[in-house]
Amino acid sequence: MARVGPQLSIVLVLHNSADELVDCLRSVRSAIEAGWAELIAVDNASPDRSAEIVRGELPKARLLSLDQNRGFAAGANAALSRAAGRYWLLLNPDTVSSPTGLETLVGWMDAHPAIAAASPELCCADGRCESPGRAAPSILRTSLELSRLHRLIPAATRARVLRGPYWLGGDQYDAGWVPGTAMIVRPAAASQVGLLRADLFMYGEDIEWCWRLRRAGWRIGVCSGARFVHRSGASARRTWGEPEQERRIAAGVDAACRSMYGPAHARALAALTGLALRLDSYGTDREPAQRVRARDGARVWGQLARRR
């Protein structure tokens, strides 16, 4: 008998997201209205009209309201525990699917049963894309970039080892991790390793989840045939401001590394990251604003390296 129910459960965690939300909702509306997908939106005690916008734009959506901002991971978990789709899609409110993006992602996952989680290509509004397939945090990889020895490695090898901006294009089947910005997940894999770690409030929870999935024998991928537009960090910048957002990103990644590798390994990785950013802050090929951000980042990572 054919399976009855949605092909995809789309999860939106809302907090101060109203400015970008309408475009996101409209990009998935046809799939929701047709019943091909379901939308579960979690209002993380948002101070704006985010919940009201969801009700107005997509009356078929399910809306869960939390009494306080419990963070991205806890908010997503609240929705995932109720999801009925063959696949789950974590989708940031500042991210817009292409017209065929959802169907392309589901078809790609069907064709690659060893993949537990994957991302579409993530592009800026101006069309620039940087592959979301990332290498897992690593002392070796950080040391390669710090020493600039990665420049001596053939481009194809460098792309495979370092990923991210070094990737030369095309699908990926063995990435270290992909961001939760637009992450499609196989429920069977998630049931094997558990949901997101709710104690990782925001940032780093996607790294740690992918790590657990890979340890269980699954793979992490990128479907290059699906392209989503991402206005990176718009809600977070509005809520905290850019310096605080960057501090929280670093703290989240550090917390994930402490969970995965242990405190001593994480401190060494933080120290190397801080040193790499300190050197970048002196780079004559950097714009002044880039040098300032690198200097600020070096200070944050240096503080994390001294934590016990």
Give tens-digit pLDDT for 79-106: 999 999 999 999 999 999 999 999 999 9
- Name the percent of the chain lying above pLDDT 70: 95
Q: What backbone phi and psi angles, to 5 degrees, belong to 99? A: -55, -35
Q: Residue 97 and residue 24: Cα distance in Å, rounded?
A: 7
In the numeric block, the tokens 């939760």 are attached to 180
Question: Is it the case that residue 130 has pLDDT exceeding 70?
Answer: yes
Nearest alpha-carbon partner for 117 in 177, 193, 204: 177
The DSSP H or E segment spanning 227 is: strand 219-230
Q: Is the dihedral of CA 288, 290, 295, 296 positive or negative?
A: positive
Buried b (16+ CB within 10 A) or exposed e, 76-93: bbbbbeebebbbbbbbbb
How confident is the model at residue 129, as a pLDDT? Answer: 87
- pLDDT recorded at residue 72: 94
134, 161 contact by CB (below 8 A): no
CB neighbour list of residue 160: distance below 8 Å, 6 or more residues apart:
none
For residue range 66-76, what is the model confidence (pLDDT) as tens digits? 988 999 999 99
Q: How far is CA 80 from CA 3, 51, 63, 219, in A?
A: 19, 18, 13, 20
Give residues with Cβ within 8 angstroms of 85, minimum separation 6.
5, 6, 7, 8, 9, 10, 37, 38, 187
CB neighbour class for 239 (10 Å; exposed up to 12, middle 13-18, buried from 19) = middle
What is the mean pLDDT of the segment spanning 177-200?
97
Query: Which pLDDT tens digit goes with each residue over 259-285?
Result: 999 999 999 999 999 999 998 888 777
Confidence of residue 233 (pLDDT cuts 50, 70, 90): low
Domains of the chain from N-terminus onward = 8-235 (3.90.550.10), 239-303 (no CATH)
Question: What are the two backbone dihedrals, phi and then psi, of residue 192, each rounded to the nearest 5 degrees?
Answer: -75, -40
- Do 166 and 154 contact (CB within 8 A), yes or no? no
**pLDDT over 70 at 136, yes or no:** yes
Retrieve residue 11's tokens. 């999860």
pLDDT in tens, 12-55: 999 988 989 999 999 999 999 999 999 999 999 888 999 999 99
Cα 299 from Cα 125, distance rounded (Å): 31
pTM beyond 0.75, yes or no: yes
Band (pLDDT 50/70/90 cuts) for residue 56 is: very high
Per-residue pLDDT reduced to its tens digit, 100-128: 999 999 999 999 999 999 999 999 888 88
Residue 2, pLDDT score: 47
Q: What is the pLDDT of residues 149-180, one digit of tens each?
A: 888 899 999 999 999 999 999 999 999 999 99
Going by pLDDT thresholds of 50, 70 and 90, the confidence category of residue 1 is very low
Question: Of 94, 13, 24, which Cα lies nearest the Cα of 46?
Answer: 13
Decide: 251 and 274 in contact? Cβ < 8 Å. Answer: no
